[in-house]
Amino acid sequence: MNAIAEPVAPVAPTTPDPLDFAERQDGRFVVYEFRGKTFRLDREKARAKKDAKRVINGPRTPELNVLPLKYPEAYRIYKQMKANHWEPDVIDMTKDCTQWNSGALKPKERWIIEMGVGYFSSAEGIVGDSVLHAIEDNLTAAELKHAVLRWIAEESIHMDSLLHIIGSLDIDQDEVTAKFNDIPSIRAKNEFITRHMPELKRGLDLTVVENQRKFAKALFGITQVMEGTQFYGLFAMILSLYRQNKMTGVGQMFQYTLRDESNHIALGRYLLTELIRENPLIWTAEFREELRAFMREGVALEKDFVRDCLPEDGVGMTQKEFLDYVDYNADRRLTSLGLDPLGTVTTNPFPWLDEVIFLKKEKNFFETRVTEYQTSGSVKNTAEDDLV
């Protein structure tokens, strides 16, 4: 027996969606139409906006819009900086306070910490102010300014970390101030690196090649000489103490600071490379030698500072190794920009620093707080050369 077919309900006529819209190509335009309106989007105009972007001397707009994105490497470095975010006040200083007040540290070890705090209390301020007024103010591409603003924010975190150290250890603030005012090697380093900054802060005509060189030299001085070379000797001393389980809270903050500096060095090198690509008249043989001379002077001043920090060898710390480390870093910065090295130190005297800086070695969970993190989805550092 055949089944009786169910009656089929009539299909109601469809009502056109009032929001339906049509999209079509019309030469250089993409055309959208809906509700009686037509929008013609000019793709070539958008491409022209991207092509007009420049490190300097590009169009200035009232909005900080990174689109269209022309410098993706700056955005990658920005994301790396963001992934490495940390806060000083989550670092436990209890053990440091006990060691600082109990006589557990030798006088030379206390002196290294005091010199570190004294120097960086001025140096980080110099970097932050110079990056804001001499570098960021003169950049015109939004994504470059965006990355540099993150850099400035990190300098504020570093200043905060110094206040955390000073407050936790109850170090006399007047004595800290006196160190960067009265110790000749600290004062000489600070005066050296700020030599060309005031002119840039007043606003230069960067269409003039000679002024473009001044801007390039400022980039080089802040990121490759100061952050990339002059910071590293002292960081290595403090991290040597950290490695010996001394002043671990201070060491942890300097560890994170140095990891940030790696991003700043990479960003500075990228800005400098793009600046020269867009303005090739900058890159004369004479200017390249001027940068090498600038680094040479910075190295000499840094070695004076290292000798003041470590006037005699300590446990696991020899003055010669730190002096060699200054030479090693200086030549790394120079050769990364295609410049000839100054010396012959080609081997890192402190290979363990990669492990300390980039957190490759797992810590005992019960001995340290879990602040060694990068946010999920971030690009992990595997070696210092990934960035610097």
What dihedral do alpha carbons 387, 348, 314, 257 form, nearest 10°?
A: 0
Tokens of 49: 């906006």
Per residue in 226-275, pLDDT (tens digit) is: 999 999 989 999 999 999 999 999 999 999 999 999 999 999 999 999 99
Homologous superfamily of the 53-386 domain (CATH): Ribonucleotide Reductase, subunit A (1.10.620.20)
Q: CA triplet 179, 185, 190: central angle to 5 degrees?
A: 80
CA distance 247 to 110: 10
Domain boundaries, the chain: 21-52, 53-386
- Say whether pLDDT at 342 is over 90: yes
The answer to whether residues 217 and 290 touch, using CB atoms and an 8 Å cutoff, is yes
Per residue in 36-47, pLDDT (tens digit) is: 788 877 778 778
- Say whether pLDDT at 320 is over 60: yes
Tell me whether residue 304 is exposed, middle or buried, using C-beta atoms within 10 angstroms of its C-beta: 0 to 12, 13 to 18, 19 or more: middle
Half-sphere exposure of 372 (CA within 13 A, CB side): 20
Tokens of 13: 């006529």
- Say whether pLDDT at 93 is over 80: yes
Of 89-98, 190-199, 378-387, give the range with the top mean pLDDT.
89-98
Instruction: Determine the residue type at 233.
Output: G
CA distance 308 to 85: 32
Q: Is 33 helix (H, G, I), strand (E, B) or coil?
A: strand
Query: Which of 53-62, 134-143, 319-328 is the least confident region?
Result: 53-62
